[in-house]
Amino acid sequence: MSSAIPGPDGRLRCPWGLSTQDYVVYHDTEWGRPVHGDDALYERLCLEAFQSGLSWITILRRREGFRRAFAGFRIAEVAAFTDADAARLLTDESIIRNRAKIQATLANARVLAGWAPGELDELIWSHAPDPAARPAPRTLADVPAVTDESTALSKALKKRGLRFIGPTTAYALMQACGLVDDHLADCVARGA
């Protein structure tokens, strides 16, 4: 049932946010805070896709490697990557070398490069649920893995040509980017 627990500083946090120092920093300063901007949201979309089937800490600890490998997740630059770049990425030990995820990252950039500025931001944020309609979770068991909104977001992104974004990945994106606040009710970071 895991409810908020005190960290080394005595402040209550979501239990997952205390398992490593990397998580403490991520939990306290980034997770659940609003993210805007097409490139920033593209980065989160890609990282959540790479996380699929893995622990988030694996991705978090390689994030700088991902940023170097994928040109800072600048959509226009990644969209111009060639087959030689794709081959290079498959040998880059600073990232997760999964062919399908790399190909999806490049394909998604090519799709997004054709969108109007702000269009990705607008599409993603149009799926944010009404916060007043969502009670604050008291325990980790109260936090869903998929919601109607994440299913709709996944469908909308897929309909527009994006790959590797199922409802669970879409919900993880919504949590990480502040579309929902799934910090536990007693967590110090809730509403931050």
Q: 56, 77, 115, 125: which one is catalytic?
A: 56
Query: Could you tell me how far CA 91 lies from the centroid of its own chain?
Result: 24
Catalytic, 31? Answer: no
Three-class SS state of 17:
helix
Catalytic, 171? Answer: no
Task: Tell me which residue has tokens 């669970």.
Answer: 168
How many C-beta neighbours within 10 Å does residue 16 have? 17
Catalytic, 42? Answer: no
Q: 23, 31, 42, 48: which one is catalytic?
A: 48
Q: 26, 31, 42, 171: which one is catalytic?
A: 26
Let me know how many helices (H) and strands (E) the chain has, helices first.
Answer: 10, 2
Distances (CA, A) of 4 to 11, 16, 184: 9, 9, 6
Q: How far apart are CA 182 and CA 190, in angstroms?
A: 8
Q: Which residues are catalytic?
A: 26, 48, 56
